[in-house]
Structure 1
Amino acid sequence: MGERTAAASGGPGSRGAAGSLHTPVLAEECVRLIAPAVTGREAVMIDATVGMGGHAEAFLERFPGLTVIGIDRDGQAIEIARERLSRFGARFAAVHATYDAVASVAADRGREGRVDAVLMDLGVSSLQLDRDERGFSYSRDAPLDMRMDRARGRTAADVLAGEPAGELERMLREYGEERFAARIASGIVRARERAPVVRTGQLARIVRESIPAPARRSGGNPCKRTFQALRIAVNDELAVLERAVPRAVEAIAVGGRIAVESYHSLEDRIVKREFAKGAASSSPAGLPVELEGHEPYLRLLTRGAVKATAQEAAANPRSASVRLRAAEKLRTITHNATTS
């Protein structure tokens, strides 16, 4: 996971490429929302989806007393972030893990087991989308991989080969909100009986052939929802997020802040639910007083979700769907999450 960014060129190992790969989405808004928790003192922030380091760089430049711990499951992204942020020395450290490890990272790297802020920029990154060999894009033919951590797990081709039609339909319907899920799942099963579906071009062709012609002519590329669903399934993204948000809240010290950027409704729904739970009293309804320990433990910092401006969306098309929510930790909690 990691930053939504503008398209880039250059090799993954060069300082020039690492330094000019992208512009992080809503960086100034993220800085503004988190600033009160990290300004004017020694502070620790976890960038739980560090990607290529764009958001981390913005924070390290702005707050000289800040240390950033970057988490990412993508080993290639970790290498680029380390190189890009090497000028900050010990103020940046990287951890190769999924972001639901945020609480254990805070326990190991934070002050007294807590950090002052957590930032999450969810979804697929520019690094993953723009490298053909990663297999995330439906616009270029490539091997169907889609793993964010290429060292482990099933590839997208493995999922298409091994799952029955009913499970494929469920994935497409739940993770892609695809109304033609049954037709596409049937198309995949018929195609794999003839030959393994192992390339993005094959899958894109199956999707287009499965969807009625009028639907193909409206609503953007008809492959978008299927590719999103398959990527989420391959990386178990929603389950990881459901674990990560409460663990991140638990990892923040009182007065600390969390900001989360989501890019589709399934992600945003999880973040919204967890923030709303923390911002509400858990005392039984109808009591005349607030029970101790049942007060809200979060204060919402955004009214609804912050979206990219038209200017930012024009400059960086991948920011068009962003939804940013943030909250402040009001009190210590022990029941909200378990550490990873």
Structure 2
Amino acid sequence: MRLLRSVCSHYGCNEVVLRRLPDRQRRKFYHVPVLIKSVTKLLVSEEMKVPRYFVDATVGCAGHAQKILESDPNIRMLCIDRDPEVLSIATDNLKKFTSRVKFVNGSYADLENHLKVSGFPSEVSGILVDLGVNSLHYDKPERGFSWLRDGPLNMRFDESDSTIDCAADILQTSSEVELTRIFREYGELKCAKEYAKAIVRKRETAAPGSRAFETTFHLRDAIEEVAAKWRPKRLSPSHASKTNRSSLARPITGCFQALRIQVNKELAHVHEGVPVLANHLTPGARLVTIAFHSLEDRPIKQIFRTLAHELKDGQLDSLQCDLSKSLRGKTFRFINKKVVKPCREEVVENPRSRSARLRCLERAK
């Protein structure tokens, strides 16, 4: 469990499961929402018009949503998540707010349509997007997100969407060049080419009609075999065991992260979706983002910079979205130019928050 929490902390697990209690229907998840005081302070203001409409664009198990709803009885909230199973947990956790909450299964990049369907105004008082993976995914072997438990190589946020290639499909059909790109760009691995080669070799030696990579342990073992050849050789006896474990965990976790990002097009959602979210802010409203690794935080930082500098034509082109006409007449400003990180006390209480990075953008007019 300690190793699982460490992996989730570094690679963006979206909720920390504190305890699980048996339920007749299913387990109920309890968690600690990250940077909750900062989120509430930045989003909820007494000067806002009533009623106040908010969007939790990645609701997860609804930790942040619950705190925001508790802060003001005039708040109405639209909760969005790509994972139907996670959304059902959020629905259960927000039962007492039923009259003030709408739930939508989908992507925040489609916010315009979600607002219309839910009867919300086109511009809202505040938006939160908490990126990363829910720890529910890691806790359930059948979802295929964790290399610590054996299960099918799925990794899709929405298991019901058969149009999305699962991780096993990508490993089976991608070329060595494409796999190298995926591992290097999304896993930030130095030996990406070696891992890609190993996967292709395993495919070529698989029995006719079968796949070399069907389960998480199949992939874990293949990556571990390559990583063992590249780990440090000069180690003192006292540090050998610990260093070997660490040197093996890093590439395995990196490969799993890379495949997860590729399967769910996570970075594409950031590039396309964050400008969409900003476009639906009413004057004075704020967009708060929480990212857990630089692959997500870097594009958010760049998008915020672009939006906060008068949106010149050249800058609009860099947003990778078709919002130039809508955004050109709007002005944005940074609330916190420097990223907000959790304090030491929060990290001690909730180790998963260690890698969290919060940014906030406000629509001025």
| Range into which the TM-score falls when normalised by the shorter chain | 0.7 to 0.9
Match of 2:17 in 1: 6
Q: Structure 1 residues 80, 166: closer, same or farther in 2, change over 3 A?
A: same
Q: Check conservation: 1:3, 1:52, Cα contact below 8 A.
A: no
Which range moved further: 217-226 or 27-36?
217-226
Unaligned runs of 5+ in 1: 286-292, 332-340
Distance (whole Å) between structure 1 residues aligned to residue 24 and residue 254 of structure 2: 32
Unaligned runs of 5+ in 2: 1-11, 207-211, 234-242, 315-326
- 1:207 equivalenced with 2:223 (yes/no): yes
Identity of aligned residues (%): 35
Q: How far does the alpha carbon of each residue in 1:42-81 deviate from its partner, in whole angstroms, 9 at most, with x for none?
A: 1011100011111111111111100111001100011111
Distance (whole Å) between structure 1 residues aligned to residue 49 and residue 329 of structure 2: 29
Deviation at 1:222, TM superposition (A): 2.8
Match of 1:30 in 2: 39
Q: Structure 1 residues 226, 14: closer, same or farther in 2, change over 3 A?
A: same
Q: Structure 1 residues 64, 38: closer, same or farther in 2, change over 3 A?
A: farther
TM-score, normalised to structure 1, is 0.87
Question: Tell me, what secondary structure is at the counterpart of 2:58?
Answer: coil
Q: How many residues align?
A: 322
Question: Tell me, what secondary structure is at the counterpart of 2:355?
Answer: coil
Match of 1:288 in 2: none
- 1:160 equivalenced with 2:171 (yes/no): yes
Distance (whole Å) between structure 2 residues aligned to residue 11 and residue 228 of structure 1: 30
Q: Structure 1 residues 79, 284: closer, same or farther in 2, change over 3 A?
A: closer
1:102-181 superposed matches below 5 A: 102-109=111-118, 111-152=120-161, 153-181=164-192
Question: Tell me, what secondary structure is at the counterpart of 2:67?
Answer: helix
Which range moved further: 73-82 or 107-116?
107-116
Q: Check conservation: 1:40, 1:63, Cα contact below 8 A.
A: no
Distance (whole Å) between structure 1 residues aligned to residue 138 and residue 44 of structure 2: 30
Deviation at 1:311, TM superposition (A): 2.6
Deviation at 1:40, TM superposition (A): 7.0
Q: How far does the alpha carbon of each residue in 1:258-303 deviate from its partner, in whole angstroms, 9 at most, with x for none?
A: 1000111110011101111111134699xxxxxxx97872111123
Match of 2:275 among 217, 225, 246: 246
Q: How far does the alpha carbon of each residue in 1:73-106 deviate from its partner, in whole angstroms, 9 at most, with x for none?
A: 1000111111111111221110010121123223
Q: Check conservation: 1:280, 1:295, Cα contact below 8 A.
A: no
Aligned letter for 2:125?
A: D
Question: Tell me, what secondary structure is at the counterpart of 2:45?
Answer: helix
Match of 1:194 in 2: 205
Match of 1:65 among 74, 95, 101: 74
Match of 2:50 in 1: 41
Which range moved further: 99-108 or 63-72?
99-108
